[in-house]
Amino acid sequence: MDDKNITIDIDPVPTVPNLTVITLQESLDLPSSKYVDEIVLPVIEKGESNIILDLRYLEYISSIGIMSLTHYHSLLKDKKRSLKIIKPPEPIYDTFAVFGIAKKIDIYDTVPEAVSSFR
């Protein structure tokens, strides 16, 4: 994953059925978003899972990365499922506000808060 500048962890939430937490670290740009798509899209397509994207450790996001997030949100919405985000660092969160992500996708400060929203 060195050439993609991103680390991805995928963890089901044992206390809430059909809920997966996906943690992204480092950069979400053109090369890494293609890699993230290879991991995340199958989770969206084949599962019945709602998704929490933990972006607390994201250092950079490009416009392509933002498009990926909105695409995941749309796909899940079409399947009557949800995408929720754990608040990224302030500069990235400010970018979300500019692009309207903060109005479209529920954003939480912590994973437990987001998990509780599914109960």
pLDDT of residue 3: 56
Write the pLDDT tens digit of every residue in 7-56: 999 999 999 999 999 999 999 999 999 999 999 999 999 878 999 999 99
User: Domain residue spans in the chain?
Assistant: 2-114
- Per DSSP, 3 falls in state G
Write the pLDDT tens digit of every residue in 51-109: 999 999 999 999 999 999 999 999 999 999 999 999 999 999 999 999 899 899 999 99
> Per the confidence metrics, is the pTM higher than 0.75?
yes
Helix H or strand E encompassing 91: helix 90-99
Strand spans (E) along 1-119: 6-12, 19-28, 50-61, 83-86, 106-108
How far is Cα 36 from Cα 20, in angstroms, rounded to an integer? 15
Fold of 2-114: Transcription Regulator spoIIAA (3.30.750)
